[in-house]
Amino acid sequence: MTRLLNGIVAFGSALLLAVTLIGAGFAAVAIPDAATAALSQAFSGCDQPNTPFTADELAFMAIAGKRYTFDDNDREKLDAAIAEANAAAEADGRADVLNGESDARSLPADAISHLDDVYRVASVAKPALVIVAALCIAGLAHVAVRISRRALGRTLMAGGGLVLAAFCALGAWAVIDFDGLFAAFHSLFFQAGTWTFPYDSLLITLYPTAFWMGMGGIWLAVTCGLSILAVLIGFTLGHKQHD
């Protein structure tokens, strides 16, 4: 019975580790502003040469949108950021005051609704990932203390290897058909038609495909880097135990 329990804990810990590693990549792009700031400076407005906003104004609004979606869901702060950017564009003569309510310069109800949908998903995902990480640590501690360091090594290698295999497949999919991967990912969490917007809308101007490819690259790099580290630590533990 003890052996069976230990086996179940080791297997469960490997799965929890895999989810934790994926969650770490998500945290890297969703919690700090750094990723959004860098990518918006590089890509926001890249497909819209006629946008009246400067790169700094687009980045300012993109960060405000990120905070609304993943941090505080404060509509007043988001509206204030968009209004400030529009006021600057109008003052410099880059935008027509009469056209200030167009989708190219504001976020209409359907765009806000989608951001709210993302916020609801993120609000569930963040605490859930913290719980998973805590359970993962407890499980790995059990494997190390109650079974052996070699078993811990195998568990680390299994969890890290599982993520690397999955992300290699997703990476290949992204290279071949990023739009297809993007659509499949969204279909897991959102209803069809609630996350597609006009090509020239402000939401797409702030977050174009290149922006999301960059986000995916950061997520991939963080998760794969930590997964490789887990595999290497696991191999080292197993090798030392064997010696």
Q: Mean per-residue pLDDT for 37-46?
A: 96
Give the burial string for 138-152 (b: 16+ CB within 10 Å, else e): ebbebbbeebeebbb
Q: What is the pLDDT of residues 91-108, one digit of tens each?
A: 988 877 656 567 889 999
In percent, the amount of the chain with pLDDT more than 90 equals: 74
**What is the structure's pLDDT at 193?**
82
The beta strand positions in the chain, using DSSP E, are: none
**What is the structure's pLDDT at 242?**
46
Residues 6+ apart with CB under 8 A from 19: 129, 132, 136
What's the whole-model pTM score?
Answer: 0.89
Q: Mean per-residue pLDDT for 148-177?
A: 93
Residue among 26, 35, 20 nearest 207 (CA): 35
**What is the structure's pLDDT at 100?**
58
Residue 1 has pLDDT above 60, yes or no: yes
Query: Do 149 and 237 contact (CB within 8 A), yes or no?
Result: yes
Distance in angstroms (rounded) separating the CA atoms of residues 58 and 91: 16
**What is the structure's pLDDT at 22?**
96
Q: Mean per-residue pLDDT for 179-185?
A: 89
Radius of gyration of the chain (CA): 22
In percent, the amount of the chain with pLDDT more than 70 equals: 96
Ranges 7-11, 36-40, 97-101, 158-162: which has the least confidence: 97-101
Q: Mean per-residue pLDDT for 6-10?
A: 89
Ranges 23-37, 86-100, 221-235: which has the least confidence: 86-100
**What is the structure's pLDDT at 194?**
87
**What is the structure's pLDDT at 93?**
87
Say how many Å lie between the first and final Cα of the chain, rounded: 29
Residue 243 has pLDDT above 80, yes or no: no
DSSP state, 44?
Answer: T
Q: What is the pLDDT of residues 99-142, one digit of tens each?
A: 656 788 999 999 999 999 999 999 999 999 999 999 999 999 99
* Identity of residue 159: G
